[in-house]
A and B are shown apart, each in its own frame.
Chain A
Amino acid sequence: MSANPRTIIIGLDGVPFGMLKAFADAGVMPCTRAIIRDGFFTPMQSSIPEVSSVAWPSIITGHNPGQHGIFGFVDMIPDSYKFRFPNFKDLKAEPFWNLCSGQAVIVNVPSTYPVRPMNGVHISGFVSIDFEKSVYPQSLLLELRKLDYRLDVDARKAHTAMDEFLQDVDKSLTARIKAHQFLWDNYDWQVFMLVFTGTDRLMHFLWDAYEDPAHKHHDFFLDHFKKIDQAIAEITAKLTAPDSLIILSDHGFEKLEKEVYVNHLLASEGFLAFEQGAEPKPVNMASATKAFALDPARLYINQKGKFQAGSVSEADKSACLADLEQLFSSLEIDGRKVIKHIYRKQDIYAGPHLNSAPDLVLLADTGFNLKGAMTSKQLAAKGPFTGKHTYPDAFLLVNNKDLTADLSENPCVTDAGKLIKSCVS
């Protein structure tokens, strides 16, 4: 082990500030409570949009999407209206481990598939597909298979067999912890990052179990966090005085009241049109389309010269943007305002990739979950999910208060990324 101060980063995907605080206070997470007591603990803003695929790249690079180039789980290929899925190869900024002089061990960070050669160990996170492209170096494959390591839980099971899904969540957590122990002991690393993603999966499907102590999966939910706290306790026990420990989430969560289908509204208001008789799919968009949305609520003007069947001229763009802002700011469902905030791209993004950014991004008000699916036959519905992502209440917890002296008043995920960079380089 090296004598230099080390940096340990633990990610708890989707865990809101309020939940972590409540679990700490209630004794579910006693070790976390002790770190909060002695360290620095603050709510943190997520990325816009508030999804893991954008937030984690901001955390690992310390840059906003205009610089790192990742704006969501999916992008549109301009000359075909086909989907493409940006991955680690599309990340335009360096992750912190490439700036670090010593070895790094990076486990389960979302949006880092496929792995690339680096100085240390990298096991990619959601969405990782081929196991062999998810592990660097390849010599680790065998050991990870022995540990029954799983890249991700199979969330499809949550729709059909909840008990199997929960078993899977638990096995993935156990294997992730074992893998971390193995890597911790067998590598001479300077920075170690481990992200737990079962938290996000549980909150998507079982937010109701968290809120309701009588729910049959309430205890499972608490146990999951207890096990994570034990893993954190194990890590803190191995720290030496100068080591930095940073625990953070990438976005928050809250109860989901209604899914709202943004493209449904665009179609019914005449902004989005499909070829006659064709299925409502992106590839079938007609040139009459003025705007469309990609998940979760990124709006793109169907601009001439930018998209294959683009029809909105540069001159008409600002009027179209204003119409869209008018449409969404007045949207109400069940007598409640749906949209809390509408951002124009230049207000939230800066950097060389601004051109690939959505023209508008919508942020939903409490309880509403915005979606980009084009096939919905209704504006709003309630699906199988009980929890949804939130923007303002991710969290940041640092063991050493001195490290946070330069942190801004209302930190966001990009600030957390800068803090990590300053620790490791």
Chain B
Amino acid sequence: MTDAVTLPPEQIVQEEPHVPTRRLLVFNIGGSSFACDMDSFREIVPMQHITRLPGAPNTVRGLINLRGTIVTVIDGGTSLGKQAYGRAEGLILLVDYFDRWIGVGVDDVRDIQDVPIDQFGAADQAEIPLPGAVTGAVEIEGKRVLVLDIKTVVQQVIGQGR
């Protein structure tokens, strides 16, 4: 969280003023792109056998065994009001959630981008059916991409869990 970087004097007097950046992970689900702070993710693992969780809504895919820990995987697509992610291929983004992990199933990871904070624009909350999930929007390769707070997304789907 410390963005107070002390720079040597010669760098400060450069023409371009230094603007802090945020490192974003850009991923695709159901034909849409989204971005989240890279810090929110612990790990990215390939799609694997998911045990269905009967009784759960379609925003929850089920359980995986991550090196001996049972991790609940939510569907990034249906959670964000889009199409479900494709089944066989795809990736699971592991999110730090309280003292454990929750997986978010997505179709593909597109890119990791360092975006200067002055390029973050406002976005309408209503673009996603989860209140508080959208924190802004950025332009990446000429396309507008919503920036999400992934923990809020997880929280809205899972609740307090356990």
A associates with B: no
Chain B residues packing against A (C-beta within 8 Å)? none
Chain A residues packing against B (C-beta within 8 Å)? none
